[in-house]
Amino acid sequence: MSNGKYIPLDSTHLIFTASYATFKGNSLFIPWDFKAPKVTIHVALRNNPAIYKQFDIWVKTTDNNGKLKTADEILNDMQKASPAKKKKKGIFGSSQSA
């Protein structure tokens, strides 16, 4: 807006269409069997469809079959990687206070 504020736009103000997926409200639903590398999105104003924006959303196509580490495994790896911490010395180089 001209006063610097903005109004969030949702499906009541915009028309969302997609090349292969479907929209329900503002959410994009892509089928599990989707194999293409991208989905083309077209968004137009409801009150003036001549004003629109079209863009591609690239979809990750590789499987994530790798095993993730548990929290304990991550903590153990961190402990192995970092050397034992030494006690900090005081301001004047001694660990005793005056």
Average pLDDT over residues 13-18: 89
In the numeric block, the tokens 């137009």 are attached to 44
pLDDT of 33 over the 80 cut = yes
Q: Is the pLDDT at 15 greater than 60, yes or no?
A: yes
- For the chain, what is the largest distance between any 2 Cα atoms, rounded to a whole number of angstroms? 78
Residue 86 reports pLDDT greater than 90: no
The angle subtended at Cα 54 by Cα 51 and Cα 58, nearest 5°, is 160
Question: Residue 54: which H helix or E strand, with range?
Answer: strand 52-58
Cα–Cα dist 39/29, whole Å: 11
- Distance between CA 45 and CA 12 in Å, rounded? 9
Q: Is the pLDDT reported for residue 28 higher than 70?
A: yes
Mean per-residue pLDDT over the chain, rounded: 82
Domain locations in the chain? 1-61
pLDDT of residue 84: 62
Q: What is the mean pLDDT of residues 7-20?
A: 84
